[in-house]
Structure 1
Amino acid sequence: MRIDDYELLLKLQEIGTIRGTAKAILISQPAVTQRLKYIEEYFGQPIFIRTPKQLVPTPSGEIILKHAQKVVKGEAAIMNKLAQSSNTIQGTLSIACSSLISQRFLPAILGEYTAKYPNVTIDLVTGISEDIKRNHKDYHVCIIRGQKLKESTCISLFEDPLYIFDTEPFPKNRMKERPLISFKSDDSMHELVDNWLYHHNDLIQPLKAITVDQIETCKQFMKQGIGMAVLPQSVSDSMKKDYPHIALELDGKPVTRHTWLCYQEGVRKLPQVDLFIKELAKQTFL
């Protein structure tokens, strides 16, 4: 059994479907099925029951999955110890990052980092900040939006002002009634928008809500004239000259989304982690 076989089992447990796992790890669905068949033959036990909706661990599978967790964690611990004792910067750098930051800023940052430290293995997970917060101890560093992590060291990276965009003008002296398009995000983002709309209900009244999965889809829907969209400056700055928009403000202050770099005490003893934190902290985002 290889480490990546154990990692595959844990990913199957996390996602719950062979199709979703194949998509997440960027290999074909038949390849995942074949590897799972090999692993089950190796242990001589079925690990999952295939139900119509998801994979359910068998009693034997639960034992094997617990073993997989220990193996993967043990391997990471050994690699980290070796990284500490080596003059070469190596080992694994485990990052959990907000989807928006991973799309907009992280590729360039990681490109520079891996060019400097090619022996470091990047373990990257992206997603909604709320999901990352629930499992933050599984990663060396977390880059999240909204509220910072409790019981963690957090560095403020930047504040991201929010704007509401539309293809139609925002009148000053009459009510604007249009559909509101929103993208899948954590609750803190929706609370900011809902609070602003509540305080401006004499000027803007959403007719209905349209929810899409990605922020890029939200932008494209807005550009096609389907409705209004609240977007952070980090992904909409170039749109300001082409589309009507207003800044979200309350009591004369901009409404912003805060972005944090968070980590647990002790991880900076790992050279590869410490160097990444230093690289990230010196970046100019907006």
Structure 2
Amino acid sequence: MRMDDYEILLKLYEIGTIRGTAKAILISQPAVTQRLKYMENYFGEEIFIRTSKRLLPTPAGEQIIQHAKETVEKERQFKNRLAETGEAIQGTLSIACSSLISQRYLPDILGEYTAAYPKVTIDLVTGISENIKQNHKQYHVCIIRGEKLKETTSVHLFDDPLYIFDTEPFPEQALKERPIISFKSDDSMHELVDSWLFEQQNYIKPQKKMTVDQIETCKQFMKQGIGMAVLPGSVSNHLKEHYPYIPLFLEKKAVTRDTWVCFQEGIRQLPQVDHFLRLLENYDFVAV
């Protein structure tokens, strides 16, 4: 069994479908099916039961998946030990990153990092901050939005102010009734927006609420006049030139989303992690 096979197996278990796994690891569905068949032949056991909704591990499959987890983790730890003793920066750097940060900033950051340290293997997962927080111990570095992780070392990266945009003006002395569009985010983001809307109920009244999956979809819906949208400044500065907007304030303070990088104590002993954290701490998020 190759390490790639174990990683494919774990991805199948995580995603639950052959189609989704193929899309995630950028190979064809037949190739994934072939690798799974090879693994089942190798162990002489059926690993998954194929249902209409997702793959379900068999009792033998659960043991094989656990073996795969342990094997991949041992390989990662061994590479890290080599990285600690070797002169060149190498090993694996595992990152869990908020989807917004991964879209807006991470390509530039990782481009600079991989150019400087080409021997480092990047293991990246993106998603909603709440989900990342639940599994933060699986990663070297977590870049999250909202509240910091209390049980970790947390470094504040930047504040991200929130604005409400629309294609129609925001009247100063009249009630504005329009649909509001939101994008999938963690609860803390929705709580901020709901608190602000409650304070503004005499001036802004959402007629109905629509939720879309991605922040870019939310922006496009707003630009088409479908409704209002609350967006962070990091992804909407260019919109200020073309669309009416107002900044969000609560108790005379700007409503912002904090962005943090969080990591376990002692993890900076790994050179590949320390160099990445240094790059993050010196990156000018505001100027980008």
Q: What TM-score, normalized to structure 2? A: 0.98
Q: Say which SS state the counterpart of residue 20 (structure 1) adopts.
A: helix
Give the equivalent residue in structure 1 for 2:119: 119
Residue 103 in structure 1 maps to residue 103 in structure 2: yes
1:15 Cα deviation from its structure 2 partner: 1.1
1:24 Cα deviation from its structure 2 partner: 1.3
Residues 63-72 or 26-35, more deviating: 26-35
Figure out how many residues of one structure are paired with residues of the other and give that number. 286
Partner Cα separation in structure 1 for residue 178 and residue 3 of structure 2: 52
1:167 Cα deviation from its structure 2 partner: 0.2
Once the two structures are aligned, what percentage of the paired residues are identical?
71
Partner Cα separation in structure 1 for residue 26 and residue 193 of structure 2: 35
Partner Cα separation in structure 2 for residue 118 and residue 220 of structure 1: 37
Partner Cα separation in structure 1 for residue 192 and residue 108 of structure 2: 29
Residue 212 in structure 1 maps to residue 212 in structure 2: yes
Partner Cα separation in structure 1 for residue 78 and residue 264 of structure 2: 19
Matches within 5 A, 1:1-286: 1-286=1-286
Can you give the 5+ residue segments of structure 1 that lack an aligned partner in the other structure?
Answer: none
Can you give the 5+ residue segments of structure 2 that lack an aligned partner in the other structure?
Answer: none
1:86 Cα deviation from its structure 2 partner: 0.2
Give CA-to-partner distance per residue, 1:14-68, whole Å, 9 cap, x none.
1111111111111111111111111111111000000111111001101101101
Give CA-to-partner distance per residue, 1:187-225, whole Å, 9 cap, x none.
111010001001110100000011111000000000000
Q: Say which SS state the counterpart of residue 240 (structure 1) adopts.
A: helix
RMSD over aligned Cα atoms: 0.6
Amino acid at match of 2:268: R
Residues 208-217 or 24-33, more deviating: 24-33
Which 4+ runs in 1 deviate beyond 3 A? none
Give CA-to-partner distance per residue, 1:73-103, whole Å, 9 cap, x none.
0000000000000000000110000000000
Amino acid at match of 2:161: P
Q: Say which SS state the counterpart of residue 111 (structure 2) adopts.
A: helix
Partner Cα separation in structure 2 for residue 111 and residue 185 of structure 1: 26
1:9 Cα deviation from its structure 2 partner: 1.0
Q: Say which SS state the counterpart of residue 185 (structure 1) adopts.
A: coil
Partner Cα separation in structure 1 for residue 99 and residue 31 of structure 2: 27
1:284 Cα deviation from its structure 2 partner: 1.1
Partner Cα separation in structure 2 for residue 25 and residue 106 of structure 1: 19
Residues 166-175 or 16-25, more deviating: 16-25
Partner Cα separation in structure 2 for residue 126 and residue 178 of structure 1: 32
1:150 Cα deviation from its structure 2 partner: 2.1
Partner Cα separation in structure 1 for residue 32 and residue 192 of structure 2: 41
Q: Say which SS state the counterpart of residue 35 (structure 2) adopts.
A: helix
Partner Cα separation in structure 1 for residue 217 and residue 185 of structure 2: 13
